[in-house]
Amino acid sequence: MDVLKYNIFLKIGIILFLILLLLIPTTMIRGLVREREQRQNEAIIEVSSKWGEPQTLTGPFISIPFYRYTMEYVGDFQKEKLVKVIDYMHFLPEELKINGMIEPEHRHRGIYEIVVYDSEILLSGFFKNLDLKQFNVPESDILLDKAVLSLGISDLTGIEEQVSLQFNQETGLFDPGMISNDIIYSGINAPVVLCDDSCSYEFLFELRLKGSQMLYFVPMGKITDVNIESSWANPSFNGAFLPDTHHITDDGFTAGWNILHLNRNFPQSWSGSQYSVDESGFGVYLILPVDKYQKTERSIKYAILFIVFTFLVFFFVEILAKKFIHPIQYTLVGIALIVFFSLLLSITEHLNFDSAYLISTVSVLALISAYIRTILRSSRLTLLIGGILTILYIFIYIILQIQDYALLTGSIGIFIILALVMYFSRKIDWYNIRIDQSKDVEEA
């Protein structure tokens, strides 16, 4: 016991061992955070599957079937035979205008919060001069009477009501499915009446669509104008294009995109499945204001700083105040520091992160301060250590709020801590240190 009390280097070794040991439950809590986050994602998927998945609108575009002839080997002797198959030529609109209103809604699955939305989307524009001759297909092989106008919708369960199409002077209804999977696999289509390749065709239809979290568009027009407004105050604009104009307030946002055919990597017309259009998708992601699991996991990254700094304060109290603190007492305080992260995770699932952080901090600081008071029997030292730990918790909270400057702020903070340690230890004779209780500090 005397060796433990008086051998300062043995004490340092024990403290370092305890720090490494306490990193094990810290890692376990970080794993728990990821598990809870995964459960939240599962809840989002479950609600989305019933309400509507994240939606992507592709189109509209006109598809015209035609006969294509190819040689195939048939029979046991692999004889060549001329086979007639159906292929499709696809035409994109000259101009596409999309105007949408998104009405978000909070849904809950247990303790987890999910963002879903209703939307009203008006699509209009026109097709001009469908050049059928560019494909070198005989006119007799083009099935012009089988032409359809198609709109890709990633999740058809989100459609709320029948969709009617106004195409030139004709009005019709959309049917489910796609006649071809060349461009998109899921969507709706409506038959259209076409004339020769010198005609123009105007279209107009409205779509009421449910979805969750994201609404994306693919710029299928030679000129594509998209204007979206919503009452959601925390949008994130993602995808291949950012909005040309946007305005965000506490009451919601508006955003506008203007995309040219030169900005994307596919032409206005082609046959078959030569091009992939998904890469040009863009739109809005309705993010929750606070990602509680992300902030909790970021705070756990500073667990080593909590433990090392607290143990460092205790160690200097032993050296400078001549108060012996047993390794078991170090361990109990270290466990209290780890419990802080468990409290933070559990409380933040029911309250906002700021409230959860405050409650967890006050609880742990009160526990540690009361325990220190019984160990050191000094109100002055208890207030000193409690004040230092309070500053540490405030410092970590500030780092969590300023993510862009977290590294800079953290580096400056660690530099200041190192400077203080060097200052207070500058006159310590490390070769002749003796920890005993022969000299008591003044008790309050």
Q: Computed over its alpha carbons, how large is the radius of gyration of the chain?
A: 34
Residue 203 near residue 125 (C-beta atoms within 8 A)? yes
Summarize the confidence of residues 287-306 as an average pLDDT: 77
pLDDT band at 32 (very low <50, low <70, confident <90, very high): confident
List, in order, residues 6 or more apart from 361 with CB less than 8 Å away.
340, 390, 393, 397
Summarize the confidence of residues 289-317 as an average pLDDT: 79
pLDDT digits (tens, 9 = 90+) for 116-173: 899 999 999 999 888 888 888 888 899 998 999 999 999 999 999 999 999 998 899 9
The Cα-based distances of 63 to 92, 181, 415 in angstroms read 9, 11, 66
The pLDDT, as a whole number, for residue 85 is 86
Does residue 218 carry a pLDDT above 70?
A: yes
Say how far apart CA 158 and CA 211 lie, in whole Å: 6
Which pTM does this prediction carry? Answer: 0.71
pLDDT digits (tens, 9 = 90+) for 364-416: 999 988 888 888 888 888 888 888 888 888 888 888 777 667 677 778 877 88
Does residue 242 carry a pLDDT above 60?
A: yes
φ and ψ at 226, to 5 degrees?
-125, 130
Summarize the confidence of residues 233-243 as an average pLDDT: 91
pLDDT above 90 as % of the chain: 36
CA 248 to chain CA centroid, Å, is: 19
Does residue 57 carry a pLDDT above 50?
A: yes
Does residue 296 carry a pLDDT above 90?
A: no
The pLDDT, as a whole number, for residue 441 is 39
* 131 membership: H or E segment, kind and range: none
Write the DSSP symbol of residue 442: P
pLDDT digits (tens, 9 = 90+) for 353-377: 888 889 999 999 999 888 888 888 8
The pLDDT, as a whole number, for residue 443 is 41
Q: Tell me what the pLDDT averaged over the chain comes to.
A: 84
First to last CA, the chain: 29
The pLDDT, as a whole number, for residue 435 is 54
Helix (H, G, I), strand (E, B) or coil at 263: helix
